Amino acid sequence: MSDRYRRGIDIAEQLANDKLAHFVKSGVAEVAPDFARMVIEFAFGDIYARDALDLRSRELIAIAVLAASGNAGPQLRVHVESAESVGISKAEIVEILMQIALYAGFPTALNALADCHDLLTDDNCLAGACG
Amino acid sequence: MSDRYRRGIDIAEQLANDKLAHFVKSGVAEVAPDFARMVIEFAFGDIYARDALDLRSRELIAIAVLAASGNAGPQLRVHVESAESVGISKAEIVEILMQIALYAGFPTALNALADCHDLLTDDNCLAGACG
Amino acid sequence: MSDRYRRGIDIAEQLANDKLAHFVKSGVAEVAPDFARMVIEFAFGDIYARDALDLRSRELIAIAVLAASGNAGPQLRVHVESAESVGISKAEIVEILMQIALYAGFPTALNALADCHDLLTDDNCLAGACG
Amino acid sequence: MSDRYRRGIDIAEQLANDKLAHFVKSGVAEVAPDFARMVIEFAFGDIYARDALDLRSRELIAIAVLAASGNAGPQLRVHVESAESVGISKAEIVEILMQIALYAGFPTALNALADCHDLLTDDNCLAGACG
Amino acid sequence: MSDRYRRGIDIAEQLANDKLAHFVKSGVAEVAPDFARMVIEFAFGDIYARDALDLRSRELIAIAVLAASGNAGPQLRVHVESAESVGISKAEIVEILMQIALYAGFPTALNALADCHDLLTDDNCLAGACG
Amino acid sequence: MSDRYRRGIDIAEQLANDKLAHFVKSGVAEVAPDFARMVIEFAFGDIYARDALDLRSRELIAIAVLAASGNAGPQLRVHVESAESVGISKAEIVEILMQIALYAGFPTALNALADCHDLLTDDNCLAGACG
């Protein structure tokens, strides 16, 4: 187990109560175990681990870019679920999804709001019970 | 209720037998009520309300761009359902979806045709019963 | 020379005072002559030649989808130049480019307006003198 | 039935044990029969039929580009199912989907791996029994 | 002049030493004056003006999403130039552009870094002298 | 210097007569030196270095996906220049760019052919003299 992997798992678990780590390890790990490891190493062990930007900023960016892409629903949900752990409120997530309408259009923003509807209304979801 | 909102609702309802208005007011209005209002105000109250382009042309454009984007299925369906109200026939919708293959590729066109399959074959759907 | 090619060239030239035909035949024809022919045959000889949608509607769609894609500047300009020949005014083109902001965001709409700035202000350009 | 169509059907069936041909003929053929024919004629009869690139290379390209687009799931699955018939192994498909992360990001690669999870683990699927 | 416009101009000028306001008013205002006004009203007067997210967070999001889109170079540059005014350092901008590689791929991140190269190296640029 | 970096540089230089290495080290290395290193390490040291797919296949994929993305011109040119070193002929590159029209539309394919026009006609370019 590389240092990059260990550092990546630490950050992924800190962010998401095991959510992120489970996500990349689950289905993907079965068909592409090296890739599941690389995602942890590179995304969390290399990029997120850098001090020059705080985790709250990194999660704002992740949510905004994933929502704006229009086809990263599963990843968007994982990051929305982990947002509370770095101090991003539900009200702020709604603002992020509204703002991306400026850059990615109204349908993309509306679909992101619909995709995350339960996470943004149900308190239990942010506590990890909606998966 | 602003003039922009009232004008937007009028046009949305004229287009779609309450379909469009319901769409943006439904799930989204619960988590982002201001945004649901803004979509009505800006999309229909500001843009669609302008006289310089007729509603038939605006719906041709909406259907084409939403289909070509490849990830606006719910919005594409709403506009396909409202097309009849501005004089666009099912045959013309099929032509639009064929033409976007030129710009957005065959998979995008095929997926748009599949997404709207029931709306393009079932007469009742265009009358509003398939949602 | 196939019937599809002859029919395609006829439509391309009718649309654009030789602009479209020249475009696809020029640089591309040197490195991919078969492809230049296929574009004429398929885009104009097969799709545009179909009666079920009039040429004005097809050009509205072409301009809207090309602008919304955000990276088809050369093709957008060719279709904007040919719009007048099917009865689309400059004012209508501006409306199309404004409307796509709803679906593709403000930057894409602003960049399309900037890309076509000269075509939308200079009368000579629409007459074919700006290339 | 044109020569282009016959040649296209031959290649589509050779690739995919009737999978590709069935795909484009199914739902789409009901609402847009001319388009179903055109896809066969152009994609397989015109492009795939060209000798200058072998079918294994063409399928590598199809799988990579469809996966990278992020919203062509049904087409991606069809081409993954046909890959074996041109000598592409499951292990190579996993490599393709990993490599597109470089160009299209991790979420797109992860979603492609998840979309094709059953095809990449179940031997029967590659033999055509999973649809 | 509407309240929305006045509020929008205030925020745009606060962000960017007149940069943003000039940008949307310039070329675009000539061919689409109503649209230039709408962008100010909606983007800055409606969305940015909302208190629920601070301007630093909004600019992080703007830079990340514009860079990830891959074809909003002019808008990306404007927001990078205005970042300092809301407390985002050059080092943080580099981190944002690195992080988007995770979601949008390496070429998009590399091209964003290249597009903003002068703004990220030259101190005078951030003070507004590079346009 | 990590093993991943050394392995990455080896592959990048083998592919491209120093072209790829120069590319990522140049402008980007000035503002984001860690990222320039990471690209070499991850793209070439981790992904390209894997034996399960040969370099010819990897370059087919790179060229196809970069061309289909529509906004990775500089990277597309670098990979087209390196194609010869892994046994991909100019005629095959033209076929790849034609085939992506199926998935990404005609404008994207035409623009890719135009972007690489000099590389596909001038023998010296493939030998590295066109930059």
Task: Say how far apart CA A24 and CA A5 lie, in whole Å.
Answer: 13
Residues 6+ apart with CB under 8 A from E95: A50, A52, A53
Q: What is the pTM of this model?
A: 0.93
Task: Say how far apart CA B47 and CA E65 lie, in whole Å.
Answer: 24
> What is the 3-state secondary structure of chain A?
CCHHHHHHHHHHHHHHCCHHHHHHHCHHHHHCHHHHHHHHHHHHHHHHCCCCCCHHHHHHHHHHHHHHHCCCHHHHHHHHHHHHHHCCCHHHHHHHHHHHHHHHCHHHHHHHHHHCHHHHHCHHHHCCCCC
pLDDT of residue A16: 73
Per-position b or e across B120-131, b if 16+ CB within 10 A of its CB: beeeebbeeeee
Task: Say how far apart CA C61 and CA B26 lie, in whole Å.
Answer: 30
DSSP assignment of F68-83 equals HHSS-HHHHHHHHHHH
Substitution target from B40, B42, B44 for chain E, most E beta carbons within 10 A: B42
Q: Per-residue pLDDT tens for F53-103? A: 999 999 999 999 999 999 999 999 999 999 999 999 999 999 999 999 999
Average pLDDT in chain F = 89
Structure tokens at A16: 């998401």
Query: Chain C residues within 8 A (CB-CB) of chain A?
Result: 101-107
- Which residue of A30, A32, A74 is in closest CB contact with D111? A74
Task: Say how far apart CA B35 and CA B123 lie, in whole Å.
Answer: 33
pLDDT at F120 over 70: yes
Q: Across the interface, do A70 and B74 touch by the CB < 8 Å criterion? A: no
Q: Per-residue pLDDT tens for D45-88? A: 999 999 999 999 999 999 999 999 999 999 999 999 999 999 99
pLDDT of residue C18: 63
Cα C86 to Cα C11, C41, C58, C79: the distances in Å are 11, 20, 10, 11
DSSP assignment of chain E equals --HHHHHHHHHHHHHHTTHHHHHHHSHHHHH-HHHHHHHIIIIIIIIIT-TTS-HHHHHHHHHHHHHHHSS-HHHHHHHHHHHGGGT--HHHHHHHHHHHHHHH-HHHHHHHHHHTHHHHH-HHHHTT---
B–E CB contacts, 8 A cutoff, strictly below = 7
pLDDT at D125 over 60: no
Cα D57 to Cα D51, D112, F20: the distances in Å are 11, 19, 23
pLDDT of residue B19: 65
How far E22 CA sits from the closest chain C CA (Å)? 13
Which of these, E46, C34, F124, lies nearest to B46 by C-alpha position?
Answer: E46
Which has more confidence, B68 or C125? B68
Type of residue found at D8: G
Q: Per-residue pLDDT tens for C25-69? A: 568 888 999 999 999 999 999 999 999 999 999 999 999 999 999
Cα D22 to Cα D18, D71, E128: the distances in Å are 6, 20, 59
How far A24 CA sits from the closest chain D CA (Å)? 8
pLDDT of residue E61: 98
pLDDT of residue A46: 96
Coil vs helix vs strand at B54: coil
pLDDT of residue B96: 98
Substitution target from D2, D5, D34, D53 for chain C, most C beta carbons within 10 A: D34
Range list of H helices, chain F: 3-16, 19-25, 27-31, 33-39, 55-69, 73-83, 90-104, 106-115, 117-121, 123-126
Neighboring chain C residues of F107 at a CB cutoff of 8 Å: 66, 69, 72, 74-75
Which of these, E89, E79, E60, F40, lies nearest to A52 by C-alpha position?
Answer: E89
pLDDT at C16 over 70: yes
- Which residue of A48, A52, A64 is in closest CB contact with E61? A64
How far D36 CA sits from the closest chain F CA (Å)? 14
Instruction: Enumerate residue ranges in chain E where pLDDT < 50.
Output: 126, 131
Per-position b or e across E43-77, b if 16+ CB within 10 A of its CB: bbbbbbeeeebebbbbbbbbbbbbbbbbbbbebbb
Task: Say how far apart CA C56 and CA C48 lie, in whole Å.
Answer: 11
pLDDT at A26 over 80: no
Q: Evaluate whether B32 touches A121 at the Cβ level (below 8 Å).
A: no
Nearest CA in chain B to C69: B69
Task: Say how far apart CA D27 and CA D31 lie, in whole Å.
Answer: 7
> What is the 3-state secondary structure of chain D?
CCHHHHHHHHHHHHHHCCHHHHHHHCHHHHHCHHHHHHHHHHHHHHHHCCCCCCHHHHHHHHHHHHHHHCCCHHHHHHHHHHHHHHCCCHHHHHHHHHHHHHHHCHHHHHHHHHHCHHHHHCHHHHCCCCC
Q: Which residue has the tokens 């591309």?
A: C28
Which of these, B75, B34, B52, lies nearest to E35 by C-alpha position?
Answer: B52
Which range in C21-35, C81-95, F112-126 is most confidently predicted, on average pLDDT? C81-95
Tell me the pLDDT band of D16, cut-offs 50, 70 and 90. confident
Structure tokens at C129: 């003198």
Structure tokens at A35: 């890739």
pLDDT of residue A78: 92
pLDDT of residue D95: 98
Inter-axis angle of helices E73-83 and E90-104, to 10 degrees?
Answer: 140
Which has more confidence, A125 or B88? B88
Q: Per-residue pLDDT tens for C65-89? A: 999 999 999 999 999 999 999 999 9
CA dihedral F83, F89, F90, F94 (to 10 degrees): -90
Q: Across the interface, do D32 and B94 touch by the CB < 8 Å criterion? A: yes
Neighboring chain A residues of C105 at a CB cutoff of 8 Å: 101-105
Q: Evaluate whether C97 touches C67 at the Cβ level (below 8 Å).
A: yes
Which has more confidence, D126 or B91? B91
Structure tokens at D94: 């996993």
Give the chains touching C; criterion: ≥3 Cβ pairs < 8 Å: A, B, D, E, F
- CB count within 10 Å of CB C1 equals 7
What is the phi-psi region of residue A88: left when phi exceeds 0, alpha when psi lies from -120 to 50, beta otherwise? Answer: beta
pLDDT of residue F29: 87
Which of these, B4, B21, B8, lies nearest to B78 by C-alpha position?
Answer: B21
Task: Say how far apart CA E127 and CA E122 lie, in whole Å.
Answer: 9
- Which residue of C66, C75, C92 is in closest CB contact with B53? C92
pLDDT of residue A130: 57
Average pLDDT in chain E = 89
Structure tokens at D11: 């290649």
pLDDT at B124 over 80: no
pLDDT of residue C21: 60
pLDDT of residue F40: 92
Residues 6+ apart with CB under 8 A from D42: C38, C42, D4, D8, F102
B–F CB contacts, 8 A cutoff, strictly below = 16
Which has more confidence, F118 or E126? F118
Nearest CA in chain B to D42: B106
Neighboring chain B residues of E50 at a CB cutoff of 8 Å: 34
Average pLDDT of the residues in B91-103: 98
E17 burial via Cβ count (<10 Å: 0-12, 13-18, 19+): middle
| Residue A72 CB-half CA count within 13 A | 24
Inter-axis angle of helices D73-83 and D106-115, to 10 degrees?
Answer: 60
Which has more confidence, C27 or B64? B64
Average pLDDT of the residues in A108-129: 81
Q: Evaluate whether E61 touches A100 at the Cβ level (below 8 Å).
A: yes
Average pLDDT of the residues in A4-33: 79
Neighboring chain D residues of E107 at a CB cutoff of 8 Å: 103
Neighboring chain A residues of F38 at a CB cutoff of 8 Å: 42, 46
pLDDT of residue F13: 85
pLDDT of residue A123: 61
- CB count within 10 Å of CB B101 equals 28
Residues 6+ apart with CB under 8 A from E28: C110, C113, C114, C117, E35, E36, E39
